[in-house]
Amino acid sequence: MCGLYGWVWNTRLISPAQRATMATVLMVEMASRGRQSWGWFDPDVGVTMRGLGSVLRGVDVPSYHARARVAAHTRAPSTGEVTVENAHPFEFGRIMGAHNGVVSNHVELNAKHERKHAVDSMHIFDHLNRDMPLADIEAWGAVWWHDKRSPERIWLSRFHGGVLNVAIIAGKNGAHAGTIWASTSTAVDYAATMAGLDAQTKEVKIENNQTYYVTKDGVFDAERAIGISEKPMPVYQPVVSTHTPAPHMAAGRMQVWRNGEWGTGPETTQPPAPQSTAPPPLTKAERKRAKKEAVRTHILNADGACMACARAPLRLHCMQCQCSACWLGGYWAASGYDNGERLLACCRRAEMGLMCSHRASAALQARGG
């Protein structure tokens, strides 16, 4: 799971404070989708920056949000080592681009075209640079790319189940003020809301397998398919509980546990006690190491509270945290997977604006969380 995000805005119609807010929110929301490396591209001056770790540590925010056009990526790798060279975006000739998703026939493409690409996504942009049809690439996901032959455009596409959310922003006089995009709708929504531009923001529907381009004047349908062969996004199945189900309604009648099985009639035998599927608790030393690592990586705040949960009282969207403290603590959501992504129980509560259920600090509770 990686993150794509970016913007094209009219610096005369969107204030510096609003640009700073949107850039920061987009960056923070996408940072949780890829903590191994990051990269961004400014097509106006041809500058590309890439680095390892979280984008939150690597970007100089004041100079970042001042740029009128930025296309960025945060990486959680599927293939290829975690190195700066393997961080998106990738440059092939006149093409600069980034991909969130998977190219499933990566090995076959390397052999077929005599390549040595370390990262599966590289094939997409190598093909584009060579004007090769994309039909022999089997992939799902979403991409952005820039072509020097049309420098005023940033191209966008999602395909075979990939997700990309785009919104346009209108100025006070109705003129087009900018475009923002990200891998989640909440990132786009919160960016506009926190900047006070939600009333002036309108979602642009990005059709599956179609190609679009963004300019300073808006978002335009290129009216052509991207042409990548179908390799659907994997569907994550919910975790199947081994617990004995509680009494439930079936065919309009309440069922009860009777003689070792569910049925109707008087309850004669209590069902067996549910067997916990939670992982064994950590030792004191393991928890201490986990918390120390989480604090070191800025996942926990000074109160020892999960940063995703600390956002909940402010009604900011959960960062879909995968922090080591929560992960090692085994706080998986009881319902298993959610929205195709691994969300922890605390994150599900944060999404609803509720306080974290396991690392709520006194300070946060005092603020009314």
Average pLDDT, the chain: 75
pLDDT of residue 272: 52
The answer to whether residues 214 and 341 belong to one domain is: no
Do 121 and 33 fall within a single domain? yes
Question: Quick one: 272 and 288 in the same domain?
Answer: no
Contacts of 334 (CB under 8 A, 6+ apart): 241, 345
With respect to residue 314, please indicate whether it lies within any of the assigned structural domains.
Answer: yes
Q: What is the pLDDT of residue 322?
A: 37
Query: How many residues are listed for the chain in this entry?
Result: 369
Tell me the average pLDDT across 201-228.
Answer: 94
Residue 287 is predicted with a pLDDT of 66
pLDDT at 321: 41
DSSP 302-341: TTS-BHHHHHGGGTPPP-----HHHHHHT-B-TT--BTTB
What pLDDT does 171 receive? 85
pLDDT (0 to 100) of residue 235: 47
Q: Which helix (H) or strand (E) holds 176?
A: strand 176-182
User: Is residue 253 predicted with pLDDT exceeding 90?
Assistant: no
pLDDT given at position 340: 33
Residue 237 lies in a domain: no
Q: What is the phi/psi pair of residue 29, to 5°?
A: -65, -40
Q: Are residues 131 and 251 in the same domain?
A: no
Q: What is the pLDDT of residue 173?
A: 80
- Quote the number of domains for the chain: 3
pLDDT of 202 above 50: yes
Q: Are residues 171 and 83 in the same domain?
A: yes
Highest mean pLDDT among 157-166, 266-275, 286-295, 328-337: 157-166
Asked if residue 236 is part of any domain, the answer here is no
Q: Higher confidence at residue 339 or residue 355?
A: 355
**Domain match, 176 and 70 both:** yes
Asked if residue 126 and residue 261 are part of one domain, the reply reads no
222 lies in the same domain as 250:
no
Share of the chain above pLDDT 70, in %: 64
| Residue 319: predicted pLDDT | 39
CA–CA dist 8, 166 (Å, integer): 11
Position 7 pLDDT exceeds 60: yes
**Domain shared by 77 and 106, yes or no:** yes
Q: What confidence category does residue 57 fall into, taking pLDDT thresholds of 50, 70 and 90?
A: confident
Q: Which domain holds residue 329?
A: 284-366
Q: Is residue 235 part of a domain?
A: no
Of the chain, the end-to-end C-alpha distance in Å amounts to: 30
pLDDT of residue 335: 30
Q: Is the pTM of this model over 0.75?
A: no
Q: What residue has token string 């990200």? A: 182
Residue 175 belongs to some domain of the structure: yes
